[in-house]
Amino acid sequence: MSKINKILKPILFVFVLILLIFSTYRFCIANFFIAHALGENNGVFYTNSKEAFINSYKKGFRQFEVDLTKTTDNKVVCFHAFNQKIYENLHIKQNNYTHDEFMSGKIFSAPEYKFTPIDLEQFVSLMKTHKNIKVMMHLHSEKNPQTTQFLLNEIIKTVGDDKQVYDRIYIGINFPEEIPILTGQNKIKNIMYYIRVKNKRPENMKKIGDIIAFMKKHNIHVVSMPYKAIIKYPKEIKKLRKNNIYIYSFAQNEIKEIIKMKIIGVNAIGTDTIFEW
């Protein structure tokens, strides 16, 4: 009996260790990572496709970021607004398209990129059938308040009165001018503000007090910041955390950079895949 115990004990220990590692891994994927643009599909990023969502969900993701864009015939589809690098990588040759053109997949010219495009209505249906997911909806309005209002109205029209869906939606905005539009409705309470440090809207991170005051004034509890800003301003990140503001970052795939951000205090990180070493 003692010989059997000697054999079983290390086997049991290894089994428990593997179970613990697997459980920790699944917990981290579900709570610390966000599937950026719904995640990757066969190694292809930024598709916002049905296959990307299913693939990410199977991997354990329970937080998702989805891009919402207005088509030329006033519909909303799940895709990134025009970005030259993204469109070139996906071999997309047209910048504008109707809802039917997008949903048919005709704008995706590369034969190896086979996936199922989805629109807002289909994505909300996924949220209703997957009640354990949280979603960051990135509104691509290109600083046009009318487009922001249109996208928000379409979200509310599509979700209807389903409170459990609204509670799991975070609206991501890029510009302060969009705030009144979001606070002018009472359906969606969660707002994520994208802090930029260059390009269209530079933020002065040295005036972190002003940013915090802005967040509190508009009842915003989540910000998204690029990797370089997080690495450059660790003290400012700590001040945000002390004021109960959550810090997210999109998108990072390298594990060493993810670890750096976690040490600084980032709450959740958008990633395309798990992981590049």
Of the candidate CATH numbers 3.40.50.410, 1.10.760.10, 3.40.640.10, 3.20.20.190, the domain formed by 33-194 belongs to 3.20.20.190
In the three-class reduction of DSSP (H, G, I as helix; E, B as strand; rest coil), residue 228 is classed as: helix
What's the confidence (pLDDT) of residue 132?
96
Cα(78)–Cα(67) distance, integer angstroms: 5
C-alpha dist (Å) from residue 54 to 14, 61, 125, 220: 31, 10, 13, 30
**Domain layout of the chain by residue ranges:** 33-194
Strand partners, 20: none
**Nearest-10 crossing angle of helices 120-129, 145-159:** 40
- The four Cα atoms 168, 169, 172, 178 give a dihedral, to 10 degrees, of -130
CB 219 within 8 A of CB 238: no
Q: Per residue of the chain (277 residues), what is the pLDDT tens digit?
A: 566 556 655 654 554 445 444 455 566 677 899 999 999 988 889 999 999 999 999 999 999 999 999 999 999 999 998 888 888 888 787 778 999 999 988 777 666 667 899 999 999 999 999 999 999 999 998 778 899 999 999 999 999 999 999 999 999 888 888 888 988 888 999 999 988 765 444 455 667 888 899 889 999 999 999 898 899 889 999 999 999 999 999 989 888 899 999 999 999 999 998 654 3
Q: pLDDT tens, 96-119?
A: 899 999 998 877 766 666 789 999
Q: In this structure, which long-range contacts are made by residues 140-146, counting pairs with CB atoms below 8 Å and at least 24 apart in sequence?
A: 140/67, 140/68, 140/69, 140/70, 140/80, 140/81, 141/174, 141/178, 142/81, 143/174, 143/175, 143/177, 143/200, 145/177, 145/178, 145/181
Q: pLDDT tens, 4-26?
A: 556 655 654 554 445 444 455 56
CB 177 within 8 A of CB 208: no
Nearest to 67 by CA among 83, 57, 80, 50: 80
Nearest to 138 by CA among 110, 94, 174: 174
CB 79 within 8 A of CB 117: yes
Q: Which 3-state string (H, E, C) describes 141-193? A: CCCCHHHHHHHHHHHHHHHCCCHHHHCCEEEEECCHHHHHHHHCCCCCCEEEE
Q: Supply the DSSP symbol for 118.
A: -
Phi, psi of 258 (to 5 degrees): -65, -45
Cα(75)–Cα(69) distance, integer angstroms: 8
Cα(189)–Cα(182) distance, integer angstroms: 8
